[in-house]
Amino acid sequence: MIGRWTAASIRARLTGWYALVLVAMLIVYATATYLAVRHEFLEQLDEQLHEEFEAAEARLTRTSDGRIAWREEEHHDADHEPERVFEVWSATGEQLHRSGAAVALPPAALAAANSSYRYETVTASGDRWRTIAAPVAVSGHAVTLRVSRSEERVLEQLWEVLVVLVLGLPLVVLMAGVGGYVLARRALQPIDHLANEAHRITAERLHQRLSVPNPRDEIGRLATVFNNTLARLESSFDQLRRFTADASHELRTPLAVVRGIGEAAVAERRSAPEYEEALGSILEEVDRMSNLVDTLLRLSRGDAGTIRLTQEATNLGDLAREAAASLGILAEERNQTLALDIRDGPIASVDRLVLREALTNVLDNAITYSPKGSTVALRVERMGDSAVIAVTDQGSGVPAEHRERIFDRFYRVDESRTRNGGGAGLGLAIAKWAVEMHGGAITVRDGPRGGSEFRIVLPIAPERHGRERPDTDMDRVTAS
């Protein structure tokens, strides 16, 4: 039963729950209504009994022969009251007077003189009677007056009310169920429309979006969230396609070179130096492919969050000097100058090896794209609660339309030039990943004297007493 209920449509479940809740509410309401009406009817009956008791007490009199009788009996004929009984009882339990319906009620005992009205319900001849009794004095003689009225009419009225409530309940529930189903159908119709639209969206049609008639209601917010998810999926699919194509191209080129060298080496017999040269070329291409695979593996681990940083307070000025020193030979080969401007030597909590690799990649990119004889500037300074590492080159710069994607994997502004230089287009991607892992950001903009300026912004660690080493204002690592 539970399995069938959970397998039902939302429309059917909403209708079912609505009907169940309504039935429970109607039962509670009908019960409360019946009890309230019953209480009101009984209160009215007691009020009528009290009024009739006072009227009967005023009409009782004692005759000359000592009997109890009604005063002005011709005005009130109590003997023709089929639903009421008037009785007067003596202290010895003798009935002194009786009028009204011919029904055998149990005798009434003499109440105490100071007792109040006493209401009771008795059964006689299969009917229920409501009685009121109290002591009265008739011409100075103490007696008990009891007035009784049948409850049958009240019970009949209560039964009619109960029948109306019980018979009306299924009808109201049926009408409410039909109305609830119609309302649920209308309320869920936009979801059916969204489901039909979403069914047409496939991996080849991720550019399509769901229509959002009202973005402020629940359905509109759901469609907006779904569209945002589709946008992220489309971007991820596009990036994956580009990544697969670029990785395949990068691996295909060295494989083609290895294949060509091998085929040329075995095509005809060659000398030992020629074989050594061929093997050397093959090893160079294998080394290039190994570096590419290692880099891709590192990026994939970073995306999966399996790389844990070992962060410690590090002087970013010292870190910049180490990165510049490691690339000094490359700059010297290109007759370039690495100019360091270290200001304050800000301290940041970073993984020294990971951040050094990021800075090395950015410097290597600047050296590669700067012309021979130019200057590559590396500046480290503190700005508020952040540390800024800026690398400025004198190359051709990065066009504005490429700045958003220059940190993407395998993306190149100049395809042929970079590939011929041996790069795989992953250095800046690694730099971005490393900086963002430390809670920072890396951007590129035009340099103050042409070229490009790459800025790495990192949060600064809490203040420490003293410094690791004094910083100079300006260093020149290598000059032409």
Three-state SS string over 339-365 comes to EEEECCCCEEEECHHHHHHHHHHHHHH
Q: Which of 304, 333, 350 is the last residue of a domain?
A: 304
Q: What is the pLDDT of residue 246?
A: 64
48 and 99 assigned to the same domain: yes
Instruction: Tell me if 203 is assigned to some domain.
Output: no
Instruction: Tell me if 15 is assigned to some domain.
Output: yes
Strand 60-62 to strand 84-89: parallel, antiparallel, or no bridges (unpaired)? unpaired
**Cβ atoms < 10 Å from Cβ of 458:** 21
462 and 329 assigned to the same domain: yes
333 and 467 assigned to the same domain: yes
Q: How many domains is the chain built from?
A: 3
97 and 149 assigned to the same domain: yes
Q: Which of 304, 335, 370 is the last residue of a domain?
A: 304
Instruction: Tell me if 197 is assigned to some domain.
Output: no
269 and 394 assigned to the same domain: no
Q: What is the pLDDT of residue 224?
A: 85
Residue 312 has phi, psi (to 5 degrees) of -150, 160
378 and 230 assigned to the same domain: no
366 and 457 assigned to the same domain: yes
Instruction: Tell me if 397 is assigned to some domain.
Output: yes
Q: What is the pLDDT of residue 5?
A: 47
Instruction: Tell me if 448 is assigned to some domain.
Output: yes
CATH number of the CATH domain containing 245: 1.10.287.130
105 and 51 assigned to the same domain: yes
- Block residue for tokens 């490009």: 452
346 and 275 assigned to the same domain: no
Amino acid at 172: V
Instruction: Tell me if 6 is assigned to some domain.
Output: no
Tens of pLDDT along the chain (480 residues)? Answer: 444 544 457 777 777 888 888 888 888 988 999 999 999 998 998 888 888 888 888 888 877 776 777 775 444 454 455 678 888 888 777 888 787 776 667 776 555 444 577 888 888 777 888 888 888 888 777 888 888 888 888 888 899 988 988 888 888 888 888 887 888 777 777 777 787 878 888 777 777 787 877 778 777 888 888 888 888 888 777 777 766 776 676 677 678 878 888 888 777 787 888 778 888 888 877 877 787 777 677 666 666 666 777 888 989 989 999 888 888 888 888 899 889 988 777 888 988 888 888 898 899 888 888 888 888 999 999 888 899 999 999 888 888 877 777 887 777 666 544 444 445 667 888 888 889 888 899 999 888 877 889 999 999 866 544 344 444 444 444 433
Q: Which of 304, 337, 361 is the last residue of a domain?
A: 304
Range of the domain at 455: 312-478
3-class SS at 141?
strand
Q: What is the pLDDT of residue 15?
A: 79
Per-residue burial over 274-296, b if 16 or more Cβ lie within 10 Å, else e, is eeeebeebbeebeebbeebeebb
Instruction: Tell me if 31 is assigned to some domain.
Output: yes
**Spatial distance between the Cα atoms of 285 and 296, rounded to a whole number of angstroms:** 17
99 and 226 assigned to the same domain: no
pTM, rounded to two decimals: 0.48
Q: What is the pLDDT of residue 389?
A: 92
**Spatial distance between the Cα atoms of 462 and 83, rounded to a whole number of angstroms:** 97
Instruction: Tell me if 190 is assigned to some domain.
Output: no
**Spatial distance between the Cα atoms of 433 and 411, rounded to a whole number of angstroms:** 15
**Spatial distance between the Cα atoms of 179 and 443, rounded to a whole number of angstroms:** 60
290 and 381 assigned to the same domain: no
CA 387, 391, 396: angle at the middle one, nearest 5?
Answer: 150
- HSE-CB at 270 with a 13 A cutoff on CA atoms is 16
131 and 43 assigned to the same domain: yes
